[in-house]
Amino acid sequence: MIGAGHLPFFYMSLDQLYSKLTVKSNAKLALVVLDGLGDIATKEQGFLTPLEAAHTPNLDGLAKEGAQGRMIPVAPGITPGSGPGHLGLFGYDPIEYQVGRGVIEALGLGVDLKPGDIAARANFCTLDPNGIVTDRRAGRIATKVTEELCALLSRKVKKVGDAEVFIKAGTGHRFVVIFRGPGLEGPLTDADPNREGLPVPDVQPTDPNSAGQRKAAELVGQFRKLALPVIAAKKPANGFLLRGIAHQPALPTFEERYGLRPACLAVYPMYKGLAQLAGMKKIEGPKTIAEQFQRYLAEYDNFNYFFIHFKYTDMYGEDGNFEAKKKAIEEFDAALPILLQKRPDVLAITGDHSTPCPVKGHSWHPQPVLLVSALSGWDKLDRFTETGANLGSLGVFESKYLIRLMQANARMFDKFGA
């Protein structure tokens, strides 16, 4: 009989096996994420995706010497949020590690979350006189307007019940709300119908037996009743939506899992928060993809893993704007030679999910991925596109394995078995 702590080698979990096989390396790895990159071809779009229609000579040059494939963010048919999409790219099983968007956004904005805090990702919206959502993003109001509205709410609503309330503006129409008080627990359902034409639902506990969740749901409901009248006369932002209402979970750090010193170059708070949750160093300052690549060059010797995030492909996909998404890809491609001045040993370019223009939102379609290294193999494809990715040697795989493929291409794994 085998005693506890003496299980045979083949009883190891897959993560334990990867850890056991990991060897130290000086290789440089970079994950470049064009958010929502994947799309679908329709007759109305000339049977092309924005990636296929875009002029991308630099991506195509990399495609000629790399391997392509498609990645499933969570599981077949499941449409992921940005949190699960990115956690999968970082190698964390998004089903095992579920993180509320509020926590991610709060961390990205530099909020010092305390144990027991409940964080909600929020955005201003437009409501009609009957409380129906007519615009979920209030016309994408400017950051300055959001800052003014958040300052107003912060002055008027400082406490709800026995909980303190903290409100902090983000980018564009986005902000976060933090509830700090005894006995609070998440996650809760969203106060967001997730589409126009519907009223804002009340939040509910995801576990009705949780006293902490019931109390948190009551507090959030009270907050909405106090806060909505404060901005009711504002135009176009006379309402707000709350989602990802949760507390901060514990995650093993990226460096613990992979033996890599990671850095994050992102503009939007949510993606900084995701990186911080995984223990990555947030590098502040750059606002454009060209500036992000320039900062990568400056920080090249300080880290051996870089996560670089580009938002606009997702934004224009959600707007259903094919031409704008195509131009965003071309803008990214034009800046790519900056990164290639110090080309990493392993470079992965992909999306966290697909945001097809016909869908005007995230979808379940596998996103394309391009992997380039001295050992990635050459698929001999002329372009990096969804069509090319369907033919690539990487095949279709779950995105949580991308980091493992990157490690393998960096020769970070010893041989398994005799």
What integer pLDDT is reported at residue 8 of this predicted model?
52
On whether the CB atoms of residues 27 and 407 are closer than 8 A, the answer is no
What integer pLDDT is reported at residue 2 of this predicted model?
46
In this predicted model, what pLDDT tens digit does every residue of 220-258 receive, in sequence order? 999 999 999 999 999 999 999 999 999 877 788 999 999
Alpha carbons within 13 A on the beta-carbon side of 135: 14
Strand partners, 396: 70
The reported pTM is 0.78
What integer pLDDT is reported at residue 75 of this predicted model?
96
In this predicted model, what pLDDT tens digit does every residue of 319-334 receive, in sequence order? 999 999 999 999 999 9
CA angle (259 as vertex; 258, 262 as ends), nearest 5 = 85
Looking at residue 111, its amino acid is: V
Dihedral of CA atoms 64, 69, 73, 76 in degrees, nearest 10, equals: 160
Instruction: Provide mean pLDDT across the span 206-230.
Output: 95
End-to-end CA distance of the chain: 25
Q: Tell the residue number behind the tokens 């949750």, with chain if given.
A: 277
CA angle (318 as vertex; 291, 123 as ends), nearest 5 = 80
Instruction: Provide mean pLDDT across the span 262-276.
Output: 91
Give me the domains of the chain, ranges plus CATH numbers.
25-98+251-409 (3.40.720.10), 103-246 (no CATH)
